[in-house]
A and B are shown apart, each in its own frame.
Chain A
């Protein structure tokens, strides 16, 4: 079972890199959707023969992060009629290199952390790396929609941390967090929509200009 867990975590890391390296908005969204599905499968692989709790968590995660949110983001692209490129403020090569540095740092740091049984040794570093890379996307992409993708990745990292103690966290809390993310992304989507209608662009750098 640890083999499958490692494989899933590896794929999560790779989807992070896809988001960092791709030039296309739709690939970004697809990658984050795949990541959502992978995150949904993780509790099942971590706690085989799991309880209703893990099944509920898996189903909820796949539904919200793998289907609803990506679909919503795609709707936002279509409605706001934004251009298809990512338009990063930091180049792709630099982003990829920073991503590798983030993964290396995450593995180095998580060795120092005084947690964790052996079986989950990859879970913490991948969670940390996902958080850092999500933050990187959030800060270095100028397009609001990609920033939303970065936010989702950031949240995915937090969710991965939560999986360490999935048996001890009440189901309602998890569902509440999922709902929070859903609402947050929903609001962001509406804001994005209005930004693009107001300014004919989703470039957030232009929000600093004052106009009447």
Chain B
């Protein structure tokens, strides 16, 4: 039944702006503040969508293309994940490579757009973003390799679906390491605290945010939506790895996904509250640890 996959996709895309909101709310509550409303990002998106756009005279079509590509690739990547727990809308052998490349393509477009402004701050942000990504990607791929080894299935639909349910009891330690690694990757890709700080507004310390400083109006809305969607996708990937839902009926499976997304968002908020942001020089170390965890998972699965 593909309508459940479509429904799950609609739920995830609709929920995406909620995830950063929940994380921010958790952070505010733990710090004793009231915090912005959970639905703040929806309002921001609506407000930005109604505004006009300002383009700098030095920018070209590359600058205008960035946000569109970012949001389109995130949406396409969402179609590759088996969100209802059984099958994805698009599935083929080796589609996890496509998943990673689509997200990388979105980032590439944003980096080009940042360069196109000719601003030194944005160039700096882009360079940091790419540095972080180049350390996060090996961890993501190692996690995928571990999932593929555990399930003998070369597509995300299988690696996060039925075969994974059977793989968990036999390979619990390895898969636990993989999920831990995926959580660290989520923090990095979502530009959350130990790697980046979504709350900072000083150009010298921002990573992801500084890259999009020159965008305005609907362009900025698209970037925000694409970013929230990307973070939600990584959260969904994490939930798919922890709780394979192939044995549940479609609707409960989607319910579990929604509950899981909220839990992950709260967890991200808790991490942000208890940790300070790492110095930029320590970020590679943090992400290498994520890769090491996934690599250990792969080793354990190869031995077993």
Contacts and interface: CB of A to CB of B under 8 A. Distances in A.
Interface of A: 3, 6-7, 10, 13, 17, 21, 23, 92-93, 96-97, 99-100, 103-104, 107, 111, 121, 125
A96 B288 contact: yes
Contacts of B172: 3
B303 interface: yes
Contacts of B299: 100, 103-104, 107
Given A3-B172, A99-B292, A103-B296, A93 B285 contact: yes
A100 B292 contact: yes
A92 B282 CA distance: 9
A100 B284 contact: no
Interface string B270-304: 00000000000010110011011001100110110
Given A104-B299, A107-B299, A96 B292 contact: yes
Contacts of B292: 17, 21, 96-97, 99-100
Nearest to B289: A21
A125 B292 CA distance: 17
Most chain B CB within a 10 A radius of its CB, from A92, A97, A111, A125: A92
B173 A93 contact: no
A10 B176 CA distance: 11
Interface residues of B, number: 16
25 contacts: A3-B172, A7-B173, A10-B300, A17-B289, A17-B292, A21-B288, A21-B289, A21-B292, A23-B282, A92-B282, A93-B288, A96-B288, A99-B292, A100-B291, A100-B292, A100-B296, A100-B299, A103-B299, A104-B295, A104-B299, A107-B299, A107-B302, A111-B303, A121-B303, A125-B303
Contact of B303 (A13, A21, A100, A107): A107
Contacts of B302: 107
B185 to A, nearest CB: 16
B285 A96 contact: yes
A23 B285 CA distance: 10
B296 A13 contact: yes
Contact of A97 (B177, B282, B288, B296): B288
B259 to A, nearest CB: 27
* Chain A to chain B: the 7 pairs with minimum beta-carbon distance, closest first: A92-B285, A93-B288, A100-B295, A10-B173, A96-B288, A100-B292, A96-B292
